Amino acid sequence: MRVVEVMKLKVLGCSGGIGGSQSRTTSLLVDDDILIDCGTGVGDLPLEVLKGIDHVFLTHAHLDHIAALPLMIDSVGELRERPVLVHASAETLRILHSHIFNWLIWPDFSVIPDHSRPFMRFQPIAVGERVTLGARAITALPARHTVPAVAYRIDSGAGQLVFSGDTAYCPELVAAINACPALRHLLLETAFAEEQHGLAVASRHLCPSMSRTMLDEIHASPQVHISHLKPGVGERIMAQLQAAGSRLSVRRLEQGDVLEF
């Protein structure tokens, strides 16, 4: 059994789009064996590191969060002795199976080389369900997006980190965050600037005023990291967030950041 006193999360990508080496889409490496989402940032990992990833937890099925998954499975499948476990909501897994791993877009690696020894296995996870990995645990939390989506709470045993994934204002997520007794870090998406409020509502993302509403309802005092900023408007989004004057200070999540908890 793996014993972990401090967990580390490395940001492989946290951009809301592409365009340059610092604009990789959402992917977070937890310790050396877990991915939270599998966006384009995963492609920067060496093959030896990719081989060691045993678990992928997906927040939802949108392309910027799953783009590297088919390529990663293809690259490491024959190099591993056991399948990569892909954890997501049942609907997210259905979408992946129907629209990505469908033999048209990409092979179905859940049956390659055969049903008994596949390169990957789909593992449904429901809101509130907890996956225990030694001393560590990952729990699916509520989120609101244009497709079925979850957030995740990651527990080291000593501290907790919550990643919102993509979400609109979600009181259920606020309640789940407020139920965390040892929250150290909150990664909160804020995809759009305030003048794009209508687009944020339509696409079920956050803009600064919505993020402030959520932050003002959080009881704890975690370090707040803002992710998923759309390319070209990141500085404006951060300026608007800081001008909003929430009790909780915020910082821009950066590719390459390492958070401990």
pLDDT of residue 102: 98
In the predicted model, what is the mean pLDDT of residues 118-145? Answer: 98
Instruction: Please name which of 170, 135, 134 lies closest in space to residue 151, comparing C-alpha atoms.
Output: 170
Asked whether the predicted pLDDT for residue 3 surpasses 80, the reply is no
Q: Which amino acid is at 254?
A: E
pLDDT of 1 strictly over 80: no
Q: Which pLDDT tens digit goes with each residue over 230-258?
A: 999 999 999 999 998 889 999 999 999 99
Higher-confidence residue of 53 and 1: namely 53
Q: What is the mean pLDDT of residues 117-137?
A: 97
Contact of 54 with 158, CB cutoff 8 Å? no
Q: What is the mean pLDDT of residues 208-237?
A: 97
What would the mean pLDDT of 5-19 be, rounded to a whole number?
A: 95
Q: What's the confidence (pLDDT) of residue 74?
A: 98
Dihedrals φ, ψ of 187, to 5°? -100, 110
pLDDT (tens digit, 9 = 90+) per residue, 16-45? 999 999 999 999 999 999 999 999 999 999
pLDDT for 4: 52
Burial 102-132 (b: 16+ CB within 10 A, else e): eeeebbebbebeeeeebbbebeebebeeebe
Could you tell me the domains of the chain? 8-256 (3.60.15.10)
Question: pLDDT band for position 142 (50/70/90)?
Answer: very high
What is the model's pLDDT at position 5?
A: 72
- Residue of 138, 130, 139, 143 lying closest to 214 (CA atoms): 143
Q: What DSSP character marks residue 46?
A: -
Q: Give me the pLDDT at residue 19, please.
A: 94
Using a 10 angstrom Cβ sphere, with 0-12 exposed, 13-18 middle and 19 or more buried, the burial of residue 2 is exposed
